[in-house]
Chains A and B, each alone.
Chain A
Amino acid sequence: MSKLDSKIPEGNLEQKWTKYKSSVALVNPSNKRNLEIIVVGSGLAGASAAASLAELGYKVKVFCYQDSARRAHSIAAQGGINAAKNYQNDGDSVYRLFYDTVKGGDYRAREANVYRLAEVSNNIIDQCVAQGVPLAREYGGMLSNRSFGGTQVQRTFYAAGQTGQQLLLGAYSALQRQIGLGTVDMFTRHEMLDIVKIDDKARGIIARDMVTGKLERHFGHAVLLCTGGYGNVFYLSTNAMGCNATAAWKAHKKGAFFGNPCFTQIHPTCVPVSGDHQSKLTLMSESLRNDGRIWVPKKQGDTRKGNEIPEEERDYYLERRYPAFGNLVPRDVASRAAKERCDEGYGVGASKMAVFLDFKAAIERFGKTQAKKMSIDNPSPQQIKEFGKQVIEEKYGNLFAMYEQITGENPYEVPMRIYPAVHYTMGGLWVDYNLMTTVQGLYCLGEANFSDHGANRLGASALMQGLADGYFVIPYTIGAYLSKEIAVKPIPTTHEAFAATEKEVQERIDKLFAIKGTKSVDHFHKKLGKIMWDKCGMAREEKGLREAIQEIRALREEFWKDLRVTGKPNEMNPELEKACRVADFLELGELMCMDALNRSESCGGHFRVESQTEEGEAKRNDDNFSYVATWENKGNNTYELHKEDLIFDVVHPSQRSYK
């Protein structure tokens, strides 16, 4: 247990962060100039951290696998970002945002971290507006808010359905400014393939130049991993094609413990799978549940089109089961409810694995209000529909267009078909209050770490956490470590540790090419994804998890015997890039199943069939599982479990209810 010191400051919850900030060690400006920081990943967490640290005077190097920092997958976040501004005067507060987040996470997050997150949420909005991020506004010129799942206040700030894009471009502009000022060196089309440790401290990375294929050594006094989640273990997810776990996994194998790997968020509203060719799944923002109503036919196996099914033959199952929150229940609850209906034979569409998300009522409601605004007394149904469509288009236009592109159906006219898909991973590298992993000098920010969201993340909280970590947490907490490093001169990359690590990486690459098998990388990735989705997806049980572990082991063995990587190592080679990533997914997948097997309770997104209430809701077991399951890699795919007990001083865990 001594290995896990969460370093949560003493004192009242409300004062921990304030006191911490006034007592944490500082690094003076002349010393900052001599300290080098490596940031891997350029999404919200990485870009905001890199820009903020460079502004403070540190020398920063940033790495991303895309051709520009602006392309990191934070860009795809649609709905919004939460903050406790209480601009709507609807009773919001830092405490409420904190409470909703802890409850939404089904009481599996650290109180102190979540409270800090809620506290800095307001600074994020201020910062973004100052940067020129064009968030949505009301006619009076003030910022607009919308609702999101799992809350009863309107605290979500947004920019149409492109909030992630606008926030990332804000952080990216701050980063580009520092690049222009010469304080940040940017390495695009570079992928980190290992961590370099010297005397048990992280001191650099080995990165592959993806254009030339050359391996490079880079030194840093500290290394920040801001590399996102590992949803692509499932092959099909809402992640970008390149999202991967390699940086985090390599760090894990070098001593960083992995926290709650089985905590995966399955997002309820995604465009359903259309065929075997499917390469990724597209999210339809949760914000759509503000105005859309989710339903299935009351009759099993109903083959009629959505519009042909009369009102009284529709089952608005979320409104029926959860009258208090209705269509805005948290994601885990909504996903399971959709799966339950489809498994029972009420699903719609060709595959029968979909439910309807219907905007007919909203179009009518908005249309009528709009007609009133325009002083049209007796609007025709046609006018109402037209006006309503205009309002919907302004709110969700890009999402509706996206849906039509993918499915060939017009969602203004027919209800959308949606189904849950893997979206976000709450698990990740274990970090302490400073965001440091169990490796000295190695930090982890954003989705890549395990903290803050417990067993289920609420909508519009990922952007909040990424930017909180990068803008407002790491600039303070990194001082606690770097203030002790000021005497350390930059270590030349000729150091034996760099040479040895580079050799390891080179040998791994050579080994992949040496297999000369017959099956492509995608072949193995798809197989792994299917095992994970079937047995470690929305419902998990002991038997299936045990099978999955065996199947993944067999698949991994086959991978190392029969993989084919075409081309050469020293060239631009996407097959090699994928092979490196899938090799890691094949190990991480097994650990996810082991973690899911260990946690025989249900909580949040983790649903163990054996642990449910009579009504089929997730049943927690606080007596035995109120801890962070933290796994240490012992080599050869063996792991040791360490537990960080979760202590709730302020919030009292109760059975989560959204009824």
Chain B
Amino acid sequence: MLIKLSGGKVYDPVHQVDGKVMDIYIRDGRIVSRPRDDETIDQTYNLNGKVVMAGAIDMHTHIGGGKVNIARMMLPEDHRADPSQHSALCRSGCGHAAPSTFTTGYRYAEMGYTAAFEPALSPVNARQSHLEMGDTPIIDKGGYAMIGSDDYFLRMLAAKKDQNAINDYVAWIMHASQAIGIKVVNPGGINAFKFNQRALDLDEQNSHYQVTPREVLKALSRAVHELRVPHPLHVHGNNLGVPGNMETTLKTMGASEGYPLHLTHIQFHSYGTEGDRKFSSGAAQIAEAINKNKHISADVGQILFNQTVTASGDNMRQFANSTLGSPRKSVIMDIECDSGCGVVPFKYKDQNFVNALQWAIGLEIFLLTDDPWRIFLTTDHPNGAPFTSYPHLIKLLMDKTFRNDMFTTLNLDAQAMSTLTSIDREYSLYDIAIMTRAGAAKLVGLHDRGHLGDGAGADITVYTDNPDREKMFEKPDYVFKDGQLVVKDGQVVKVTWGHTHTVKPEFDRGIEKDIKKYFDTYHTMSMENFKVSSDEIAEGGRGGIVVQACEGRREKSL
């Protein structure tokens, strides 16, 4: 089967293609540079005047796992307002803040996204994450295994185990939980909360283990680097949401001593303490530090005004915030000497000083960070806003007039505290293609996605070049997934099952002897059952595992 996409304006930053009119050929699900001489074209799509990009990749979105399902279960009132009907093609479900899995897959695809990554896959809960992602159609997916507050790891740090042993454990976790990255959430803090500590700064010790978040970050970022995992250590820092936390964030950038770090939903970690209300924007300093520190990347975690739900592994901070929730309810959990979670519904309001300033801080970070290869478009779905608001966010970045008009409707005190309107930058389509495709694929380590070169998986999105960028990005003309037309005019026309992307770093399996002993002595499940098998993920014919190359990508800087 050979398909020709004819005459579209192509944005493919991996190959420095910036709006060039060119043809793209797809053979059996892969992009090929040109047909063989003897080959006939089976189908041609005339894309004159259309914009062509690789399928978009959401590198941080909570789409599957225990806390997402708690959020779903907690919020029947939110689902009722957004029912999704079943059709001849699609299963029914519901949308908004914590959509059902089938609806999640359809809506991502209908927005031109072809991959999404669950960033907080708790290893002990990995089976559930993969079950949920297995019921998420069309898009590719994967997860970052969340460690750093697990007792096994902290025992290793406290016992001063050497880095090789830590590397073996980290690799073992990635295999066991079928992950493509490693994430740390409030490094050591989830564990400290179980010992009744209520805050943990970068250099503060866990009262039981006597180790600091800095030590956790250093050991894990080095492990990820030495195992040659392409995705840098994914860091949700200490002190999320706390006024003044920009200092912690700036110090965190140095904590890995040059090993790559990805600082996630950095908007929530960029707060100063200036002004009458002791809450101010740290965006300028944070963006400047990202610009300067080449080993740092970040995604923003933009907030947008509406009802949503915050779901995080950071039960220490979520417990502290639980009284701010709306509607006022929360679930806080300690989980299996492995992790924790906190789910707090939240309504961001444009007339609320803090919320309005959070909105401006996120946009300031987007616009003041120079390199679109190191800053990523997220709302930390659903924590800042549901993923379905991405087209609106893209318009805010690409359209200064629209942005400034929105700004003038916000809480006046917040307006007075923000420099947003003094920033003239508008993102280009090329920048957006970097942020949401090329850069995201590089960051996650998807070697055959996020670009339109020879051999790439044919995940392709075609848009009408509408000056209203929200309209443009919310309804693509065509979306191809592995060469199959899955969306036409913003509607699903075919349901496929995407791949689960993983990496499998090499390690010394001798470590299993000690891990097994730990499970047998302390756990309530066996080590073998902790592991998620590839067969479980492929069950029911719903996609399978793709093992991406684990050959590193980023250099240690400094």
The yes or no verdict on A and B being binding partners is: no
B residues at A contact (CB < 8 Å)? none
A residues at B contact (CB < 8 Å)? none
